[in-house]
Structure 1
Amino acid sequence: MPRSASAAMAAARPLVPGLFASLVAVAAALALHSLVPVLPAMTIAVVLGILAANLPGISRPVFGVLRPGLNAAGKHLMRVGIVLLGLKLVLGDLLGLGWQTLAIVAGVVLLSFAGVWGLGKIFRLPGDAPLLIATGFSICGASAIGAMAAVRGTKQRDTVLPVALVTLCGTLAIGMLPLLMVPLGLTPLHFGQWVGASVHDVGQVVATAQTAGAGALAAAILIKLTRVILLAPMVAAASLLERRKRPAGAIGALPPIVPLFVLGFLAMIALSSTGWLPEGVRDAGSVLQDIALGAALFGLGSAIRVRELLGSGLRAVAMALLSWLLVAVLGLLAVQLISH
C-alpha cells in the first residue's frame, strides 16, 4: 500500500467509531419518523444527540472515543447534506410563483435576517451567534447555520447553541402554528404559505403544513424552497464582507467568495432543473441528504451539555423565542401581501 494511502487510513481510523454512531442514530431517527410522521427525522436526530451527551454512561464515550467522528460528521456531512439539498429545488417551479411573490419572500427573508440579528445584538449574544441564529431562522435552519459558519470560520462548538435554538423553535412551530390557523382565519392555502414563509427547517415545514392537507403542504414547500435558494447569495454576501474585514496582506487567509460546497449546491439545483434526472435518482439523493444532514445534526446535538446550556443559554433562549415570534409575524404579513 502506498505510504500516502496508509497515512490517510491511519488519520481516518479515529473517526470511524463516531461516524458509525452517527449513522446508527440516523437510522433510529428515520425509523421513529416512519412510525410517527409528525416528528421530523432531523429534529429527532438532534434530540438523540442531546440525549447521548447527557445520559449517564453514554456521555463518557460521546466525549471520548466517539468525539472525533462526531465532530467530523457535524462539519463535513453537514456540507454534503447542503449540496444534496439542491436536488430538491427546481427553478421552473419557483419561477411559477411569479416575480411579485418571489420579491415578497425575498423581502421577508431580509427583514427576518436583519431583525433576528438585531435582537441577537440587543441580547448581547457572543461572537457569531447573532449572525448564525439570524441565518438559521431566516433561511433553512441548521443547513444555513452550517454554511454561514464555514464562511465565517466559526468553530464548530460555537454552532451548537444556534442549532439547538433553531431546532427548539422549529419544533414549537409544529405544535403551535396549526392551533392558530382557525383563530387567524387562514384558509389551507394561506396557512401553507405562512408555514413556508416562517418555519425554519424543510422537515419542520412539511410536518407543520401537512396538518392542513395536500394543498397547504404544496404551497408551504414552494415558499420554503424559495427561501432555501437564497442561501447561496446570503453566504456569498457574508464572504465578501469577511474578505473586506481581513488585512490587505492576508490574501492566503481570505475565504472563497462562494465556498465549494455552495457551488455544489448550485450545481445540484441546475441539474435538478434540467429535468434530465430520473425520479429514482432524485429520490435517492433525498434519502442521502437526509442521512448526511441527520448524521451532522446528531453530531452537533451530541456536543450540547444541558447543564451548561441552562447555565449560560437562558438569555439566548429568550432571544430565540422573540425571534420566532418576529419571523412568524413577518411571514403572516407576507401571506397578506401575496393574497392581494
Structure 2
Amino acid sequence: MRHSGPVPRDLHPFTASLRGLPPLLPGLLACAGAVAAALAVHALVPALPAMTVAVVLGLLAANLPGVSAWTSGPGRAGLGFAGKHLMRSGIVVLGLKVSVVDVLGLGWPALLLITGVVLVSFAGTYGIGRLFRLPPTVSLLIATGFAICGASAIGAMAAVRRIRQQDTVLPVALVTLCGTLAIGILPLLTGPLELGPQLFGAWVGASVHDVGQVVATAQTAGAAALAVAVIVKLTRVLLLAPMVAVAGLHHRLRDDSGGTMPPVVPLFVLGFVAMAALRSTGVLPAGVLEAAALLQDILLGMALFGLGSAVRVRELLRTGTRALLAALAAWLLIAALGLGAAVLMLPGH
C-alpha cells in the first residue's frame, strides 16, 4: 500500500542530515583551507600557535572587502556549524592530551595550589567583567576561558548554560588576544624577574590560557620549562569537567522557566572525561596520540576560524572597548596569581 502523505522529517534523520549538508560545504571547505594555512604558518614560525593563526584568518575573512560578504552569506552556515559542533568534537579529542597520572605526579600540594589559582582567577575575572559593566553571560565566558583553557572552555560553558553561539565570539577573540600577548611578553620577563626554566614553565602553565599558547610561550626557555608548563596547564584543563558540571547544576537550580533543561554535564564533556581516562591507562601508542593531537588541531582550528569569521572589527571597536579593558585587567590578575603559585610550587628555582 502506497503512502501518499508527506514523510515525517523525524523518520528519516539521516536523509534530513544529507539534505542539510550542501549548504554547509562552502563554509567547511573554507575552514579546512584556513586550518591548512594555519598549520603551515605554525610549521614555519613555531612561536605562532596554529589556533591563534586560525582566529586571525577568520578575522581577516570577516573584515576584508569582498570576502566579508561571503562569510555572512553563502559561507555562514558551514562557518557557524564549525564554530559550534567542531568545537565540541575538538573538546572530546582534547581529553587525549590529559594524563591523570602525569597530573598526580605534581603532588597534592601543587594540585591544590593550581586548583586555588583557577578558582580565584575565575571569580576575580568574573568580578572584573561585572565591574566593567559587561553582561553576566559575557563575564562568565571570559572568566571560564581565562581561568581554564581558552576557547575550548568557553565552548563547553556556553553549551551547559545555553548561551548563544554569537555571544561566544567576543570572549573567544579576547582570550586569543591575551594569550597571544603572553607569547610575546612573558619570555621578556624571565631576566628581570630572575626566573629559572622550571619556575618560568610553572608560571606559564598556571597563567596562559590555551594549550597551544602555553607551548609556544614555554618553549622559549627550553625543554625543562616546556615539560613543567604542559603538566601544570593540563591540570587546569582537567578542571574543565567539574567546573562545567557545577555551572550546569547551578543553572538547573536557578532556572524556574519550566522549559527543557540542558544536561548538567554535556555529552561532549563526558567524552572529554572518557578520553582523559583512556589516555591515563597508558595503552595508547605514541602514534595514536600524535594523530589525535593533529585531529584536535584540525577540529579546533576549523572551529576558531568559524568563530573568528563572525567578528566584525568595526562593531568590536564600538561595543567591545570595555570588554578589552576588562580582559587586560584579568590577564594581569591571572599572571600575578600564576607567578605566585609557581614560586610556592617550586621554591628555590
| Pairwise TM-score range, normalised by the shorter structure | over 0.9
- Find the counterpart in structure 1 of residue 166 from structure 2: 157
Q: How many residues align?
A: 337
Matched, 1:235 2:244: yes
- Find the counterpart in structure 1 of residue 98 from structure 2: 89
Matched, 1:294 2:315: no
- Find the counterpart in structure 1 of residue 264 from structure 2: 257
- Find the counterpart in structure 2 of residue 193 from structure 1: 202
For 1:286 and 1:143, locate their aligned partners in 2 and report how far apart those are by CA, in whole Å: 14
| Structure 2 residue corresponding to 1:277, chosen from 276, 279, 284 | 284
Secondary structure of 1:93's aligned partner: helix
- Find the counterpart in structure 1 of residue 330 from structure 2: 323
For 2:75 and 2:278, locate their aligned partners in 1 and report how far apart those are by CA, in whole Å: 36
Secondary structure of 2:20's aligned partner: helix
For 2:276 and 2:38, locate their aligned partners in 1 and report how far apart those are by CA, in whole Å: 27
- 1:98-143 per-residue CA deviation (whole Å, 9 max, x = no partner) reads 0000000000000000000000010011240000000000000000
- 1:193-226 per-residue CA deviation (whole Å, 9 max, x = no partner) reads 0000000000000000000000000000000000
Q: CA deviation at 1:275?
A: 1.1
For 1:290 and 1:52, locate their aligned partners in 2 and report how far apart those are by CA, in whole Å: 20
Counterpart AA for 1:310: L
Matched, 1:309 2:346: no
Secondary structure of 1:253's aligned partner: coil
Q: CA deviation at 1:13?
A: 1.7
Q: CA deviation at 1:281?
A: 1.0
For 1:85 and 1:235, locate their aligned partners in 2 and report how far apart those are by CA, in whole Å: 15
| Structure 2 residue corresponding to 1:32, chosen from 32, 41, 45 | 41
Contact 2:130 2:136 in 1 (8 A): no
- 1:2-28 per-residue CA deviation (whole Å, 9 max, x = no partner) reads 965433211222111111110110001
For 1:177 and 1:278, locate their aligned partners in 2 and report how far apart those are by CA, in whole Å: 34
- 1:267-310 per-residue CA deviation (whole Å, 9 max, x = no partner) reads 00011111111111111111100000000000000000000000
Counterpart AA for 1:158: D
* Structure 1: segments with no counterpart, 5+ residues: none
For 1:274 and 1:333, locate their aligned partners in 2 and report how far apart those are by CA, in whole Å: 33
Contact 2:58 2:306 in 1 (8 A): yes
For 2:167 and 2:38, locate their aligned partners in 1 and report how far apart those are by CA, in whole Å: 24
For 1:275 and 1:54, locate their aligned partners in 2 and report how far apart those are by CA, in whole Å: 45
| Structure 2 residue corresponding to 1:128, chosen from 117, 134, 137 | 137
For 2:109 and 2:288, locate their aligned partners in 1 and report how far apart those are by CA, in whole Å: 32
Moved more, 15-24 or 110-119: 15-24
Secondary structure of 2:271's aligned partner: helix
Secondary structure of 1:143's aligned partner: helix
For 2:111 and 2:192, locate their aligned partners in 1 and report how far apart those are by CA, in whole Å: 27
TM-score, normalising length from structure 2? Answer: 0.95
For 1:90 and 1:225, locate their aligned partners in 2 and report how far apart those are by CA, in whole Å: 8
For 1:175 and 1:261, locate their aligned partners in 2 and report how far apart those are by CA, in whole Å: 33
Counterpart AA for 2:343: Q
For 1:72 and 1:171, locate their aligned partners in 2 and report how far apart those are by CA, in whole Å: 25
Counterpart AA for 1:327: I
For 1:183 and 1:290, locate their aligned partners in 2 and report how far apart those are by CA, in whole Å: 34
Counterpart AA for 1:302: S
| Structure 1 residue corresponding to 2:112, chosen from 79, 103, 111 | 103
TM-score, normalising length from structure 1? Answer: 0.97
Say if 1:83 and 1:4 are closer, same or farther in 2 by CA, change over 3 A.
Answer: closer
Q: CA RMSD in A?
A: 1.1
Moved over 6 A (4+): none
* Structure 2: segments with no counterpart, 5+ residues: 1-10
- Give the percent of matched residue pairs that are identical in Structure 1 and Structure 2: 66
Structure exhibiting the larger radius of gyration computed from Cα positions = 2
Counterpart AA for 1:280: G
- 1:229-274 per-residue CA deviation (whole Å, 9 max, x = no partner) reads 0000000000000000112x72x51121111000000000011111
